[in-house]
Amino acid sequence: LNEGLLIDWVRNAAGAGGGVCLGIGDDAAVVRSRGRYWILKADMIAEGTHFSRRDSRPEDWGRKAVMVNASDIAAMGARPRYVLVSLGVPRRFATADARKIMRGALEASTRIGARIVGGDTCRCGTLVVSVMMAAEAPSGKWVTRSGARPGDAVLVTGPLGGSLPSGHHLRFFPRIGEGLFLAGHYRVHAMADVSDGLAADLRHLARAGGVGFEIYEDRLPLRRPARGARSAFLDGEDFELVFCLESRQARRLLRDGRAAKRGFKFYPIGHVIKKGLRFVRRNGKIEKFPAMPDHHFGA
Amino acid sequence: LNEGLLIDWVRNAAGAGGGVCLGIGDDAAVVRSRGRYWILKADMIAEGTHFSRRDSRPEDWGRKAVMVNASDIAAMGARPRYVLVSLGVPRRFATADARKIMRGALEASTRIGARIVGGDTCRCGTLVVSVMMAAEAPSGKWVTRSGARPGDAVLVTGPLGGSLPSGHHLRFFPRIGEGLFLAGHYRVHAMADVSDGLAADLRHLARAGGVGFEIYEDRLPLRRPARGARSAFLDGEDFELVFCLESRQARRLLRDGRAAKRGFKFYPIGHVIKKGLRFVRRNGKIEKFPAMPDHHFGA
């Protein structure tokens, strides 16, 4: 399956208008009803693709399904409010284990300040946890993937790479506080969460904004045991935010006492350029972004 | 998996309050934000449980996933507005077929006046289509499963049984018009859609309202090739509405020219009683509701 082709086709077929402020193709959708805005997101995780019974527990799967959605909501600068969880379970799956999945989902929802309001279970050959999230943008604004401008600074909220071996993909806390802070106090031009890997997610921002990126190897914060920049670019499941704003705003952000007080960290990793995806190695050599050998299914 | 036990556990664990007007356990959830009400629903269908490649096409699966959610929204007396579709597809599943699933979902959304605003695809051993729907109650009211009162008439919007052999489960049109009409013009005490089978769905209404039901065999409208009342009670996937309102309101409804003009049909099938689930056979004998041999996974 070519996910990109499919999404493009659906986006064109679904069209715009009718209360849809932001449709398919961003981290989440924005819809309007009687002057109120809602942010909607759905994301599904499946056994064998996003988790395995060998290295994680049912609670982890429920938690992860909620947190991956919350990460996309965070990338809109919004606050998760309501959660729906659909569970597909194989024949003879124990009720006690299904309950553990739901306990993980409930605890994660509580931790992000959201409520589970609905659910559905059905029999399914593969174990899947499908979550939908409805959110609000308290500042009345939301941040999209488009809007990056040449000259903007590019920053991330934390280290990248090595998510699977480190267990980060099961334990991460979505950057909701950072997203709300950025949307509320700064003019963020574009933002996304790093779920498919920095290379893929910057490609989305580049395409959405009609711009390019220049990223510096010596600036990339790495998560142990990430093996260098390749890992940061391609591993995925980092669930950090990557965002673009004017250099002057970025300098102000890096000195912002309110952010420091709340434990927020921001790492400048490069700049928006007119076009192209340039990776500046430590030795000054300029390369393309590292690429995957074949198509990757991200979270 | 014991679905009932799991849902009870989650409902208790999730609790109430915090903008949640109606949480887990009804056809859909109702949430409030800044004085506006939204209705949220999630329902997933999986290959081998709700559809099969042998007797249906990819378009049918996308259509069905949307329509089963719309049926639950209809049972709230609400209007579907926004749709999110998550697709789990096995390795080597053709993009063309995924597109057909999405085409079915898009066409169904258009037919019910809703818009697809988001989606997600992931690799999954079993083909699943998970849909989330956000809706509005234009009358500012919504109808729950609780609230049936002894003496109320019980009606359905169409024939029951035989959904799978007749292909109805793939072709049905959700009773959105009827639901909106009933919620807008009548004091409906309780309503649900008939998805698990009349017996199971009346059991939900009985439990939610603390009441019982008396259903008459000679009143049950049957869909061909349903094999008698047992089929109407147990087959499921009818996606009709079953609802309760005062006898006087029911008599008015059955003579309502506006309903007739719009092609709405309503069949009185029994009454709400204080307790118990009584099935009155043609010969006057009173029995319990027909029961399933084992636990059934409904749509």
| SS3 of chain A | CCHHHHHHHHHHHHCCECCEEECCCCCCEEEEECCEEEEEEEEEEEECCCECCCCCCHHHHHHHHHHHHHHHHHCCCCEEEEEEEEEEECCCCCHHHHHHHHHHHHHHHHHCCCEEEEEEEEECCCCEEEEEEEEECCCCCCCCCCCCCCCCEEEECCCECCHHHHCHHHHCCCCHHHHHHHHHHCCCCEEEEECCCHHHHHHHHHHHHCCEEEEEHHHCCECCCCCHHHHHHHCCCCCEEEEEECHHHHHHHHCCHHHHHCCCCCEEEEEEECCCEEEECCCCCEEECCCCCCCCCCC
Q: What mean pLDDT is predicted for residues A49-73? A: 95
- For A114, list phi and psi in degrees, rounded to 5: -115, 165
Name the stretches of chain B with pLDDT < 70: 293-299
**CB spacing of A1 vs B94 below 8 angstroms:** yes
Residues 50-69 on B with a CB inside 8 Å of A are 50
Q: Which of B63, B68, B133 is nearest to B103 (CA)?
A: B63
Closest in A46, A95, A299 to B1, CB measured: A95
Is the pLDDT reported for residue A299 higher than 60? no
**CB spacing of B42 vs A123 below 8 angstroms:** no
**CB spacing of B102 vs A130 below 8 angstroms:** no
Residue B294: predicted pLDDT: 53
Q: Where residue A4 falls among pLDDT bands split at 50, 70, 90? A: confident
Question: Tell me: the pLDDT tens digits for B30-75?
Answer: 988 777 788 999 999 999 998 999 989 999 999 999 999 999 999 9
**CB spacing of A126 vs B128 below 8 angstroms:** yes
Residue A294: predicted pLDDT: 54
Is the pLDDT reported for residue A34 higher than 80? no
- Indicate the residue type of A292: M
**CB spacing of A136 vs B47 below 8 angstroms:** no
Residues 68-87 on B with a CB inside 8 Å of A are 81-82, 84-86
Residue A292: predicted pLDDT: 75
Integer Cα distance of A147 and A85 in angstroms: 32
Residues 100-139 on A with a CB inside 8 Å of B are 102-103, 106, 115-126, 128, 130, 132, 134, 136
Q: What is the DSSP letter of B39?
A: E
Integer Cα distance of B19 and A173 in angstroms: 24
Is the pLDDT reported for residue A295 higher than 80? no
Residue B120: predicted pLDDT: 85
Determine which helix (DSSP H) or strand (DSSP E) holds B135, and give its type and residue range. Answer: strand B128-136
- C-alpha neighbours within 13 Å on the C-beta side of residue A291: 7
Is the pLDDT reported for residue A78 higher than 90? yes
Question: Tell me: the pLDDT tens digits for A229-239?
Answer: 999 999 999 99
Closest in A2, A43, A119 to B42, CB measured: A119
Residue B293: predicted pLDDT: 67
User: Does A93 reach chain B within 8 Å, measured CB to CB?
Assistant: yes
Residue B21: predicted pLDDT: 86
Comparing A16-25, A255-264, A276-285, B267-276, the range with the smallest average pLDDT is A16-25
Integer Cα distance of A157 and A176 in angstroms: 11
Q: Which of A238, A297, A225, A292 is nearest to A269 (CA)?
A: A238
Q: How far is CA B274 from CA A1, A177, B199, B201, in A?
A: 55, 51, 17, 17
Instruction: Sort out which chain B residues have CB atoms less than 8 A from A130's CB and list them.
Output: 42, 44, 86, 88, 128, 130
Q: The pTM is what?
A: 0.92
Instruction: Sort out which chain B residues have CB atoms less than 8 A from A89's CB and list them.
Output: 1
Integer Cα distance of A2 and B93 in angstroms: 10
**CB spacing of A85 vs B42 below 8 angstroms:** yes
- Indicate the residue type of B224: R
Instruction: Sort out which chain B residues have CB atoms less than 8 A from A124's CB and list them.
Output: 44, 46, 48-49, 126, 128
**Three-class secondary structure of residue B84 per DSSP:** strand
Q: Where residue A47 falls among pLDDT bands split at 50, 70, 90? A: very high
Mutating which of A31, A87, A97, A122 best tests the B interface, going by the most B Cβ atoms within 10 A? Answer: A122
